[in-house]
């Protein structure tokens, strides 16, 4: 099933919150990112190269309600997500929603790679919303996470044919050769990481995150991204 736009109205396709994580590790000459090559039968992002992640589920809200996440961390994440839909239910709900997204990021990484991240390793990075006209729509919150010694993700998801570490340069070279496909949010979030230079600089940066609502024509790998620039504060 393709991810190309199909005739639809926004009301026909609900927007689900989701989380996606750029797992990073040091490598010779820079850093590597952990990616998955999705199977061609998926109903969203079929055949695409993606990061570990998935939609927010009810159990993620339960994790927040049970006090499994540090309130101070959730307050900080709510602040960083302030220019996204996280405030749509009001300021009093922002920290809980930030917690649901963080819990989803941890859970999805664990389910797909066997790696349970410390909540503090997950740093807010970007927010992209699938445009109207797609069969599935997601309000996706991207995180970056620098892995520590001994933390090694595995390939253990049936949604992908392979999971692997790769340098951003090699990944984009494969894209240019037409060997792989990457949606625009995947490309842009990784390009933004590359612009920071090193993992240390990526983690130290504080992106001014605003929701990106791309033109539907910009959602596949062959088109340029519009209106998605990100500013970083020292």
Q: 209-230, pLDDT tens digit by residue?
A: 999 998 776 655 444 343 344 4
- Residue ranges of domains in the chain, CATH in brackets: 10-227 (3.90.79.10)
Q: Which two tokens stand for residue 74?
A: 């959730």
Where is pLDDT greater, at 233 or 196? 196
Q: Please state, in angstroms and rounded to a whole number, the distance separating the CA atoms of residues 200 and 222.
A: 31
Contact 104, 18 (CB under 8 A): yes
Q: 51-93, pLDDT tens digit by residue?
A: 999 999 999 999 999 999 999 999 999 999 999 999 888 888 9
Contact 59, 108 (CB under 8 A): no
pLDDT value for 232: 35
pLDDT value for 133: 81
Exposed, middle or buried by CB within 10 Å (0-12, 13-18, 19+), for 89?
A: exposed
Q: 13-28, pLDDT tens digit by residue?
A: 899 999 999 999 999 8
| Spatial CA neighbour of 35 closest among 171, 188, 143 | 171
Q: 119-157, pLDDT tens digit by residue?
A: 999 999 999 999 888 888 999 999 999 999 999 999 888
Q: Which two tokens stand for residue 233?
A: 């504060």
pLDDT value for 136: 85
Q: Please state, in angstroms and rounded to a whole number, the distance separating the CA atoms of residues 127 and 20.
A: 10
Task: Return the ∠ at Cα 1 (arms to 8 and 103), rounded to 5°.
Answer: 80
Q: 160-193, pLDDT tens digit by residue?
A: 678 899 999 999 999 999 888 898 999 999 999 9
Q: Please state, in angstroms and rounded to a whole number, the distance separating the CA atoms of residues 170 and 52.
A: 19
Name, in order, each residue with C-beta under 8 angstroms of 182's C-beta and a sequence gap of 6 or more.
48, 49, 50, 171, 175, 221
Report the chain's terminal Cα–Cα distance, integer Å: 43
């Amino acid at each position: 099933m393709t991810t190309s736009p199909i005739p639809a109205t926004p009301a026909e396709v609900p927007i689900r919150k989701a989380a996606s994580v750029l797992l990073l590790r040091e490598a010779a000459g820079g850093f590597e990112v952990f990616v998955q090559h999705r199977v061609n039968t998926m109903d969203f992002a079929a055949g695409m190269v993606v990061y570990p992640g998935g939609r927010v589920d009810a159990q993620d809200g339960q994790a927040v309600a049970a006090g499994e996440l540090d309130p101070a961390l959730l307050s900080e994440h709510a602040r960083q997500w302030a220019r996204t839909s996280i405030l749509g239910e009001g300021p009093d709900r922002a920290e809980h929603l930030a917690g649901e997204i963080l819990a989803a990021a941890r859970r999805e990484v664990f389910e797909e790679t066997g790696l349970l991240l410390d909540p503090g390793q997950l740093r807010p990075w970007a927010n992209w919303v699938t445009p109207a006209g797609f069969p599935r729509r997601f309000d996706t919150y991207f995180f970056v996470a620098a892995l520590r010694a001994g933390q090694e993700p595995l390939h253990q998801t049936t949604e992908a044919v392979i999971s692997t570490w790769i340098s951003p340069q090699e990944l984009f070279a494969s894209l240019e050769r037409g060997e792989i496909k990457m949606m625009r949010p995947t490309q842009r979030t990784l390009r933004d990481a590359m612009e920071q230079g090193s993992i240390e600089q990526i983690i130290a940066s504080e992106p001014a995150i605003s929701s990106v609502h791309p033109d539907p024509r910009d959602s596949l790998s062959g088109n340029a991204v519009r209106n998605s620039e990100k500013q970083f504060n020292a």
